[in-house]
Structure 1
Amino acid sequence: MANPPATQAPIRRVSLATVLRLFVPSLLGIFIFFIPVTYNARSTIPLDHMVGVVREALGDYTGLYAMALIVAGALYPLITGHWRRSVTDTLFTVLKLFGVVAGVMALTGMGPALLQEPDMLPFLFDKLVVTVGLIVPIGAIFLALLISYGLLELIGVLVQPIMRPIWRTPGRSAIDAVASFVGSYSIGLLITNRAYCAGQYSAREAAIIATGFSTVSAPFMVIVAKSLDLMTVWNQYFWLTLVVTFVVTGVTARMWPLTGMDATLTDGEPDVVPGQRLALAWKTGVAVAADAPSLVQSVRQTLREGVLMAMSILPSIMSVGLVGLLLAKYTPVFDWLGWLFYPIVALFGIEHAQELAQASAAGLAEMFLPALLLGGDAGIDFVARFAAGVVSVSGVLFFSASIPCILATSIPISLWRIVVVWFVRVALSLLMAIPLGMLLQ
């Protein structure tokens, strides 16, 4: 439950050292995670540049580094005994061991030729595993600047009037959403998991954030738009996709199965009396800054969490992602699943309704699949391509990466709940995206 309302929140004098402790690390963290800079003719956030520099420095050893994390992640539940905790843990431990086999095949080029096709193991290993394996630990080093020195608490109090009425999450969850969008959903999930473990989010709030805000970043949206030939309407696509994604999150936050999750928390944001919000935000932020651990301690803790998350995610991406891609490419599973969305698409009487429905269903395996399936066909009409581009992003949940990331956290949301949320998100996204595409064409 939330802390009791604050009856007084006067702005009191604080030492210069505390003020600097609040703002210097926080502003540096904002710069690293949120401010695009140009380096080597490429504009992106500093964290992304750092990942690129480290990847270039590692060179041919990048694959060995990723493979080491995959092996460590597969062995970790066996060593700690976590594989015994539940049927889901046991299943994912087996899948992680399979991920080691898949990783070896990706690294060495061994195995069946169909697995070595560009959109199979090479895609998973080079585009997802190596990138996530670098960005999560490196991001974790600098995450301490963002979350340990009062910024989350200060901003959380300020944006409470927006976040809680619309998305039923604390104000501090705005940081999670922005971190996912400008950086990586894995970093957003790392922040969410940290706050949940600290009692700052309830299970329900953490699940809403994980399944609703942990979307792909803006650079991924550019790739989707290019694949679907939507760059001529890039600004409209970008902003409308953003609106659809967060409107859908506001709806799913009020629907089963998320509404049935535990809402208990131990360290909620304080309620604010009228006229005291700015004062309480300042008081809360400086209090956290004053009591914050040293930078070395904070970095050590976030780095440990980041490495453990990377270890858990990578073998799951290799195994679950490969299974999903194989099902999408060589079986009619997603064709069948697409019939669940066909009535929604058919309501609007658009061309290629069946193709759009099936492509939307394939997004459960990998967020790029709707773009890959419709982008390669020059005959697909604009509305179907636009809707597929929106659903690729607003669906949020997919087996090749984001779902294993969520399952690797301590957030107590089961796989079946995640799949149900995905279905609702895609259905609602189609209902919004198709008419928007019609208005734009």
Structure 2
Amino acid sequence: MPASRSTSASRTWRDQWPTLAKLLLPSTLGIVIFFVPVTLAGRHTILLDHLVHAARAALGEASGFYALTLIVAGALYPIYTGHWRRSRTDLIFTLLKWLGVPVALLALSGAGPAFLQQPDMLPFLFDKLVIPVGLIVPIGAIFLALLIGYGLLEFIGVLVQPVMRPIWRTPGRSAIDAVASFVGSYSIGLLITNRVYQAGQYSSREAAIIATGFSTVSATFMIIVAKTLDLMAIWNLYFWLTLLITFTVTAITVRLPPLSRLEDRKTEPEPDIAAGRRWATALKEGLNVARTAPSLTQSVWQNLREGLVMAISILPSILSVGLIGLLLAKYTPVFDWLGWIFYPVVAPWGLSEGVALAQASAAGLAEMFLPPLLMSDAEFVARFSAGVVSVSGVLFFSASIPCILSTRIPLDVGRIVIIWFLRVALSLTLAIPTGYAIQVLGAA
């Protein structure tokens, strides 16, 4: 009998090997592409960055026209889908997308007022942000299929369930949302969150915590931030420390109003996993996803399509809102005034560019790329802190806030702005000493 049972178990594992390979091989390749730096042609960076660099080199001067095409498509998309009619917010952002079209034409032609064509205005915004984002989002989306499509997320999600409730006050399944947002995008995370919330599996408080605490910009966007701030030499340190700070800030904000005061009832609570079965359950969940996952060709095509839709959705507003933000930062005192709110957090650390960092952090409410853009020439600690804050702040008006407002999650603009303020203040409190520590240890 024992021999028969052993033979049966052996046969079961032999049958599982193809599925196990389907889980491990794409996931491992995705990890290598996103997180393992290699040196090619004298450049030491991750493979995804090498691919984007090669694509831009291949396009040459046509890269600007490629970005213009995406921006025009992005302006037309809400008209085609009818999304501009859904709310006043959607109408405003549709107008901002349309504003992005003439701005892109000015950037590409070099025409227009002289103050727009200064090196730190439109040329910098278009060349250092718009074109790289237009390339990295669809290219990154292709390889995100390897990370999120073959069971790795589910495997990790089950393993971290025991820490989700005590630390972030969310159920274990929210780990999938958190990782999907960080390696995918806030739009993917919000899509998952909204669906689960409407199914009654998240309470209002849990859905709001996930939307404002986990649905941050993706790893592919973080590469753009790191490149802008000249942090690619410490990419892995920057990525993992930013992830740690982002989720630490979330653990604090869930215990503060307004999040702590939201309703915490749901109709479909999550079942507990039996003791001693977590690894087995995690592997089972990962294998189940891998078994039913589409072919690599189908997955790549689906992710490329979603990546292109995302690129055209964000590129016009990044350009228009980004330009408005740069103009406000350079020619008005708006962010100077707003930045003083954060200066008491920055001042004790004695940064020579403390005021600039506080003001750049405030500008992140308009567009998450503004802190990196404004601090690109600063010294290391200020650059690192700006890079962390631009991600860990999570909330910004050019993209993530309208996405949240378009869901059923019960958050209004007032609550979102309060949560943003708390997140930025806490992020600066953690990021500045972390930057000093990296500098002292000689990693910078």
Shorter-normalised TM-score: what interval?
Answer: 0.7 to 0.9
Q: After superposition, what is the alpha-carbon deviation per residue over 1:333-383, rounded to whole angstroms, capped at 9, x for unaligned?
A: 011112323444567788876555434424445667667767868xxxx9x
Which letter does structure 1 place at the counterpart of 2:248? V
Worse-matched range after superposition: 283-292 or 34-43:
34-43
Which of 384, 399, 404 is residue 399 of structure 2 equivalent to?
404
Question: For residues 144 and 436 of structure 2, what CA distance do their matches in structure 1 show?
Answer: 41
Kindly indicate whether the alpha-carbon contact (under 8 Å) linking 2:33 and 2:48 is maintained by their aligned counterparts in 1. Answer: yes
Which letter does structure 2 place at the counterpart of 1:171? A
Question: For residues 300 and 406 of structure 1, what CA distance do their matches in structure 2 show?
Answer: 28
Partner of 1:43: 44
Partner of 2:26: 25
Question: For residues 81 and 239 of structure 2, what CA distance do their matches in structure 1 show?
Answer: 44
Kindly indicate whether the alpha-carbon contact (under 8 Å) linking 1:199 and 1:266 is maintained by their aligned counterparts in 2. Answer: no
Q: After superposition, what is the alpha-carbon deviation per residue over 1:126-164, rounded to whole angstroms, capped at 9, x for unaligned?
A: 111111111111122222222122111111112223444
Q: CA deviation at 1:31?
A: 2.0
**CA 1:424/1:282 → structure 2, altered by over 3 Å: closer, same or farther?**
same
Partner of 1:421: 419
Worse-matched range after superposition: 277-286 or 412-421:
412-421
Question: For residues 374 and 135 of structure 2, what CA distance do their matches in structure 1 show?
Answer: 29
Question: For residues 26 and 241 of structure 1, what CA distance do their matches in structure 2 show?
Answer: 22
Question: Is the partner of 1:254 in helix, strand or coil?
Answer: coil
Kindly indicate whether the alpha-carbon contact (under 8 Å) linking 1:156 and 1:171 is maintained by their aligned counterparts in 2. Answer: yes
Q: After superposition, what is the alpha-carbon deviation per residue over 1:403-432, rounded to whole angstroms, capped at 9, x for unaligned?
A: 425645876566555433331122223444
Kindly indicate whether the alpha-carbon contact (under 8 Å) linking 2:229 and 2:377 is maintained by their aligned counterparts in 1. Answer: no
Worse-matched range after superposition: 281-290 or 310-319:
281-290
Q: CA deviation at 1:217?
A: 3.2
Q: CA deviation at 1:119?
A: 1.6
Which letter does structure 1 place at the counterpart of 2:213? I
Q: CA deviation at 1:388?
A: 6.7
Partner of 1:208: 213
Q: CA RMSD, aligned part only?
A: 4.1
**CA 1:238/1:297 → structure 2, altered by over 3 Å: closer, same or farther?**
closer
Question: For residues 234 and 295 of structure 1, what CA distance do their matches in structure 2 show?
Answer: 28
Partner of 1:293: 294
Question: Is the partner of 2:215 in helix, strand or coil?
Answer: helix
**CA 1:36/1:167 → structure 2, altered by over 3 Å: closer, same or farther?**
farther
Worse-matched range after superposition: 160-169 or 269-278:
160-169
Worse-matched range after superposition: 272-281 or 209-218:
209-218
Partner of 2:186: 189
Kindly indicate whether the alpha-carbon contact (under 8 Å) linking 1:237 and 1:386 is maintained by their aligned counterparts in 2. Answer: no
Worse-matched range after superposition: 161-170 or 15-24:
161-170
**CA 1:15/1:25 → structure 2, altered by over 3 Å: closer, same or farther?**
same
Worse-matched range after superposition: 326-335 or 196-205:
196-205
Question: For residues 415 and 339 of structure 2, what CA distance do their matches in structure 1 show?
Answer: 19
Which of 388, 398, 403 is residue 393 of structure 1 equivalent to?
388
Partner of 2:158: 157
Question: For residues 436 and 105 of structure 2, what CA distance do their matches in structure 1 show?
Answer: 46
Question: For residues 282 and 367 of structure 2, what CA distance do their matches in structure 1 show?
Answer: 40
Question: Is the partner of 1:340 in helix, strand or coil?
Answer: coil
Worse-matched range after superposition: 413-422 or 265-274:
265-274
Question: Is the partner of 1:38 in helix, strand or coil?
Answer: strand
2:100 is aligned with 1:99: yes
Question: Is the partner of 1:113 in helix, strand or coil?
Answer: coil
Which letter does structure 1 place at the counterpart of 2:215? A
Worse-matched range after superposition: 124-133 or 324-333:
124-133
Which of 171, 176, 195 is residue 172 of structure 1 equivalent to?
176
Q: CA deviation at 1:327?
A: 0.4
Which letter does structure 2 place at the counterpart of 1:192? G
Worse-matched range after superposition: 156-165 or 354-363:
354-363
Query: TM-score, normalised to structure 1's length?
Result: 0.78
Kindly indicate whether the alpha-carbon contact (under 8 Å) linking 1:156 and 1:269 is maintained by their aligned counterparts in 2. Answer: no
Higher relative contact order (CA 8 A, sep 6+): 1
2:32 is aligned with 1:34: no
Query: TM-score, normalised to structure 2's length?
Result: 0.77
Matches for 1:4-19 after TM superposition, within 5 Å: 13=13, 14-19=15-20
Q: Which consecutive residues of structure 2, in runs of 5 or more, have no partner in the other structure?
A: 1-8
Partner of 2:59: 58
Which letter does structure 1 place at the counterpart of 2:417? V
Partner of 1:118: 119
**CA 1:352/1:45 → structure 2, altered by over 3 Å: closer, same or farther?**
closer
Q: Which consecutive residues of structure 1, in runs of 5 or more, have no partner in the other structure?
A: 1-9, 180-186
Worse-matched range after superposition: 200-209 or 53-62:
200-209
Kindly indicate whether the alpha-carbon contact (under 8 Å) linking 2:214 and 2:247 is maintained by their aligned counterparts in 1. Answer: no
Question: For residues 309 and 264 of structure 1, what CA distance do their matches in structure 2 show?
Answer: 33
Question: For residues 36 and 264 of structure 2, what CA distance do their matches in structure 1 show?
Answer: 34
Q: CA deviation at 1:60?
A: 1.2
**CA 1:326/1:94 → structure 2, altered by over 3 Å: closer, same or farther?**
same
Q: After superposition, what is the alpha-carbon deviation per residue over 1:233-280, rounded to whole angstroms, capped at 9, x for unaligned?
A: 999999876654442232123334445678799999863221111110
Question: For residues 399 and 134 of structure 1, what CA distance do their matches in structure 2 show?
Answer: 22
Kindly indicate whether the alpha-carbon contact (under 8 Å) linking 2:75 and 2:94 is maintained by their aligned counterparts in 1. Answer: yes
Q: CA deviation at 1:82?
A: 0.7
Q: CA deviation at 1:54?
A: 1.2
Which letter does structure 2 place at the counterpart of 1:189? Y
